[in-house]
Amino acid sequence: MAGGVTAGGTAEAAGGTGATTPLLAGVRVLNLASVGPAARAGRWLADYGAEVINVGAVPSRGAVQITPVFHAYSGHRGMRRILLDLKSDHGRETFLRMAERADVVIESFRPGVTDRLGIGFETVRGRNPKIVYCSTTGFGQSGPCSQWAGHDLDYLAVSGYLAVGEPGARGNPALPGATLADSAGGGMHAVIAILAALVKGEGAYLDVSVADGVLSLMSLAVDEYLATGSEPGYQHSMTSGRYACYRTYQTGDGRWLAVAAIEPKFWANFCRLLGLEKWAAHQTDDAVQDQIRADVEAVLASKERDVWIGILSGSDTCVAPVLTVSELCEDAQYQARGAFAEAVHPEHGDLRQTAPLLAGMARPELPYRLPSGTHSHRLLLEAGFTEAEIKELLEEGTVA
């Protein structure tokens, strides 16, 4: 992998102590995206210990860019940033020289833009044959929708995701509560592809389509339709609301429980604890589902949510509370898992944020010191530029 980062330094950037080398120590990533799926990919790679360098446009010369709020993407902890004028010859050459010492390039421009800028895959590969070049777009590099603008909701729409959920009050496809397409369909999709390419070690071009990624998440429903001709939708199956054993219910204090008692033994336990043993043998009896739902609703409305959690959740019923964001931030399970970390921002002071959460990521023992501004001078030195070259680039406005 690319040099220039010690194992201990990478561990510190990823929040560890340096005693254990992070899994992606020594991997250098140039990320041309500031928001969206590619930014999420960079976040996860950094939390695995990769050296992620965010490459933005020089403000006076670049196109309009979205600047994330200071706490987004975990405040870009463990990352560094440089601003380049990629439309200039010197800016383009600066990026290509940096790419010579990188392992991964991530970009999220529309198809064809990086080639027009002179920093496309073939050009970068000419300077670094082992580069893993990941292009993340909404619909991919090919197909009739490849040039469409889009956001998370659009990719959930075309993948079938919105069509199979419980309708909203207007009979409309309900809005999801999180950007699942950007996160799983795009960001995690990109990370998986990048890691697979790094394992092979030969360099690769990765065409990451967010819509394709969400379609892969929908494969159980889609494969059912392709194999049987049966159209999935709301109340079509166990996990889409057909039966009373798999849905949300309101409790006496106006809060909610998630009931997912799929297996008969869990459903039987649930019915027994609610005093509804008569329904235990009718879990998938379509003729009585409305009556079961009504009876369950009536019983659960008799007590507060947390009282029911005390009765049900530890008794093999597959019942969990529907937590608000403020509740989950104080939840005992997440606290025990070390899910939140302390951080210090140079302008906004002390704050809490989600810790590196995925398996194998380094966890912090000290507060993160979040970055602010740019690190251009140091990054150019590491890329082999001389002081004289750096001075010229800064003075002409190619770098900021």
Question: Which amino acids are annotated catalytic?
Answer: 151, 182
Both structure tokens of 198: 């790094």
Both structure tokens of 8: 């201990």
Query: How far is the C-alpha of 203 from the C-alpha of 192, rounded, in Å?
Result: 15
Q: Classify residue 82 by its DSSP letter.
A: E
Cβ neighbours of residue 178 closer than 8 Å, sequence gap 6 or more: none
Decide: 175 and 204 in contact? Cβ < 8 Å.
no
H-helix or E-strand spanning residue 256: strand 256-260
Residue type, 207: D
Beta bridge mates, 167:
173
Using alpha carbons only, how large is the chain's radius of gyration in Å? 25
Query: How far is the C-alpha of 375 from the C-alpha of 53, rounded, in Å?
Result: 9
Q: Classify residue 163 by its DSSP letter.
A: G
Q: Classify residue 155 by its DSSP letter.
A: H
Beta bridge mates, 25:
none
- CA distances to 17, 213, 319 from 346, in Å: 21, 36, 42
Decide: 355 and 338 in contact? Cβ < 8 Å.
yes
From the list 207, 136, 206, 203, the residue with the least C-alpha distance to 1 is 203
